Amino acid sequence: MSKQAAISQQRAPIYEALQRFREMRVVPFDVPGHKRGRGNPELTAFLGKQCVGVDVNSMKPLDNLCHPVSVIREAEELAAEAFGAAHAFLMVGGTTSAVQSMVLTVCKRGDKIILPRNVHKSVINALVLCGAIPVYVNPEVDARLGISLGMQRQQVARAIEENPDAVAVLVNNPTYYGICSDLRAIVCMAHDAGMRCLADEAHGTHFYFGHGLPVSAMAAGADMAAVSMHKSGGSLTQSSFLLTGPDVHAGYVRQIINLTQTTSGSYLLMSSLDISRRHLALHGREIFHKVVDMADYARQEINAIGGYYAFGRELMNGDSVFDFDSTKLSVHTRDIGLAGIEVYDLLRDEYDIQIEFGDIGNILAYLSMGDRIQELERLVSALAEIRRHHQKDPAGMLTQEYVEPEVVMSPQDAFYADKVSLPLAQSEGRVCSEFVMCYPPGIPILAPGERITAEILEHICYAKEKGCSMTGSEDPDLQHINVLA
C-alpha cells in the first residue's frame, strides 16, 4: 500500500460525520421516533446513549445511502480502494442483500447462470426473484468428510461449452468449510466466453487483507463480489459490502440495490462498516496472521486428541480443493460416533461454548480478530472431554452432507406454481416448491423445482433426528412439505 493510500485509509467519513452531528445537539423533529433515545428509556438503558444517539435518519450532513453524494460516497471510495475494487457499495441488508443484488444485476428472466449447487439460499432466492435458470456444476464430494468441495475446472469448462448462452458463472470463495476453487482460472473461462464471474465471499473478507491466504475475487479479476464484513471483518451483524470490477456499470448496480434495500439505512451499520474498513486497511495483515497461527495451533491440538479430524491445507489437490482458508477451524466428528450437531449442542449446553455450526458430520469454530488462545484451549479441552464421555460406535451414521439434486424446473416457476402440502413421508417422487435446509450453514437440501428422492428424505429425517435446525419450509416442524400440485 502506498503512503498516500495508507494516509487516506485513516479516514472514516461516516463516523466523523456522526461525531460532528453529535456535537451539534440538533433538535429532532424527524424519525426515528425514539428521539435519540429519550422516548424509549428501556431501549436506551439496554443499548446505551452512545448507540441510540447516533441511530438517526438520513439528512444532508449525513448523506443518503440510496443516492450518496458526500460522506457515504467518500466511505464507499475508501472501501473500494481498500478492497482493490472499482466500486464498493455499503449494504445494510446483510450479504444476502449483496448476493441478491449481484445476481439481479447480471440476470433477468430466462437467463442461465452457472453455479455450484452448494450455494447459500440467498443465491437461489435471487433466482426465484428474477426468474433466471440455474445450471448446476455438482461439486465433488470428499469421501472421508462427506462434504462438498469446490468447482472443478473441467466441469466449469464443460458447463460453459454446453451452455454458451449463459450470462454468468458464480463461485463460492470460500465455502463454509474454507475450500476454494481455482478462481483465477474460472474468471478467465467465464470472460473468454463473454460471461460475467460473480463471487460469494460471505466467508472471505479476510482474503483482502491477510498474507498467504487464498486469492480474493477482485484480485482474481471477478466482476462482482459479495463480502460479509460482519463475519470476519469485525463490523456489526447485517453489514456487508458489494464490490464491483472496472467493467461493471456502477449506476445500474445502484439501481438494482435500491429495488430491495431499505431507504432508511442504519447509521449504526454504516459507521461500523466505515470503522471496520479502516481497521482492516491499517492492521489487517497483522490481525489475520495471528488468526491463522491460532487456527493452526488449534488444529494441531485437536488432532492430537484422537478421533477428531481438524482438516486443513493437506486437502488441497490443485483443482476441486485448489486452496484452503487456513483461518477456518473445521473439525470432522463422525469417527467418534457423534454428528457435528451433537457436538455443537454438547459444547453449548455443557461447556458454554458457542461455535458457528454443526451438521451431520462436522463442526466449524469461526475464528477471527476477537479470539484468544485461552478460549481455544478451553475448546480443545471440551472436545477432549466430549470424546471421553460421549464417544459412540459410528456404525450406521450418514456419511455425506451433499445430495445431488434432480432439477425439474426453474426455482421461480416452482415457487409460484400451484402447490399442495403433503406429509413428508408421502412426498417421494414429487417436485418440491419450497426450501428445506439446515441453518446454519443455510445451503438447501431441497430447493424449489427439485425432485424429492428417498435419499433426500433420509437425509432430512436424519438431520432432524440429530437436532439440526431445519428452516425454509412453510411448516415450522417440517412434518409436511409443499410440492407441485
Are 83 and 180 members of one domain?
yes
Final residue belonging to a domain, choices 251, 279, 307: 279
Are 286 and 267 members of one domain?
no
More confident residue, 290 or 443: 290
Which whole number is the average pLDDT over 433-453?
A: 90
The burial of 3, by beta-carbon neighbours within 10 Å (0-12 exposed, 13-18 middle, 19 or more buried), is given as exposed
Provide the residue type at 97 as one letter: S
User: What pLDDT shows up at residue 7?
Assistant: 55
Are 174 and 75 members of one domain?
yes
User: What pLDDT shows up at residue 143?
Assistant: 86
Residue 4 has pLDDT above 70, yes or no: no
User: What pLDDT shows up at residue 230?
Assistant: 97
Which whole number is the average pLDDT over 353-380?
A: 95
Does some domain include residue 259?
yes
Does some domain include residue 35?
no
Which own/partner pairs from 310-319 qualify as long-range (CB within 8 Å, at least 24 positions apart)? Answer: 311/145, 315/142, 315/179, 319/150, 319/152, 319/153, 319/154, 319/182
> Residue 457 belongs to what domain range?
411-484
User: What pLDDT shows up at residue 220?
Assistant: 98
Are 185 and 223 members of one domain?
yes
Does some domain include residue 44?
no
Q: Determine contact, residues 408/429, Cβ cutoff 8 Å.
A: no
* Per-residue pLDDT band at 397 (split at 50, 70, 90): confident
* Per-residue pLDDT band at 1 (split at 50, 70, 90): very low
Are 293 and 251 members of one domain?
no
Instruction: Count up the domains in the chain and report the number.
Output: 3
Are 380 and 446 members of one domain?
no
Residue 444 has pLDDT above 80, yes or no: yes
User: For position 352, which CATH number holds?
Assistant: 3.90.1150.10
More confident residue, 350 or 464: 350
User: What pLDDT shows up at residue 404?
Assistant: 82
Does some domain include residue 222?
yes
As a three-state string, the secondary structure of the chain is: CCHHHHHHCCCCHHHHHHHHHHHHCCCCCCCCCCCCCCCCHHHHHHHCHHHHCCCCCCEHHHECCCCCCCHHHHHHHHHHHHHCCCEEEEECCHHHHHHHHHHHHHCCCCCEEEEECCCCHHHHHHHHHHCCEEEEECCCECCCCCCECCCCHHHHHHHHHHCCCCCEEEEECCCCCCEECCHHHHHHHHHHCCCEEEEEECCCHHHHCCCCCCCCHHHHCCCEEEECHHHHCCCCCCCEEEEECCCCCHHHHHHHHHHHCCCCCCHHHHHHHHHHHHHHHHHHHHHHHHHHHHHHHHHHHHHHHCCCEECCHHHCCCCCCCEECCCEEEEECHHHCCCHHHHHHHHHHHHCCCCCEECCCEEEEECCCCCCHHHHHHHHHHHHHHHHHHCCCCCCCCCCCCCCCCECCCHHHHHHCCEEEEEHHHCCCCEECCCEEECCCCEEEECCCEECCHHHHHHHHHHHHHCCCEECCCCCCCCEEEEEC
Are 102 and 165 members of one domain?
yes
Provide the residue type at 101 as one letter: S
Are 307 and 257 members of one domain?
no
User: What pLDDT shows up at residue 463?
Assistant: 86
Are 330 and 451 members of one domain?
no
Does some domain include residue 10?
no
| Positive or negative torsion for Cα 127, 128, 131, 137 | positive
Which whole number is the average pLDDT over 187-208?
A: 98
User: What pLDDT shows up at residue 363?
Assistant: 96
Q: What is the mean pLDDT of the chain?
A: 94
Q: Determine contact, residues 76/90, Cβ cutoff 8 Å.
A: yes
Final residue belonging to a domain, choices 390, 421, 436: 390
250-254, 262-266, 350-354, 400-404: the lowest-pLDDT one: 400-404
Are 87 and 209 members of one domain?
yes
User: For position 464, which CATH number holds?
Assistant: 3.90.105.10
Are 201 and 238 members of one domain?
yes
| 22-75 confidence digits (pLDDT tens) | 888 888 899 999 999 999 999 999 999 999 999 999 999 999 999 999 999 999
Does some domain include residue 240?
yes
Does some domain include residue 20?
no
User: What pLDDT shows up at residue 2?
Assistant: 43
* Per-residue pLDDT band at 467 (split at 50, 70, 90): confident
Final residue belonging to a domain, choices 279, 294, 312: 279
Q: 396 — alpha (psi -120 to 50), left (phi > 0) or beta?
A: left
* Per-residue pLDDT band at 440 (split at 50, 70, 90): confident
More confident residue, 2 or 464: 464
Which whole number is the average pLDDT over 305-329?
A: 97
* Per-residue pLDDT band at 311 (split at 50, 70, 90): very high
User: What pLDDT shows up at residue 439?
Assistant: 78
Are 381 and 341 members of one domain?
yes
Which whole number is the average pLDDT over 117-140?
A: 94
Does some domain include residue 23?
no
% of the chain exceeding 70 in pLDDT: 98
Residue 400 has pLDDT above 80, yes or no: no
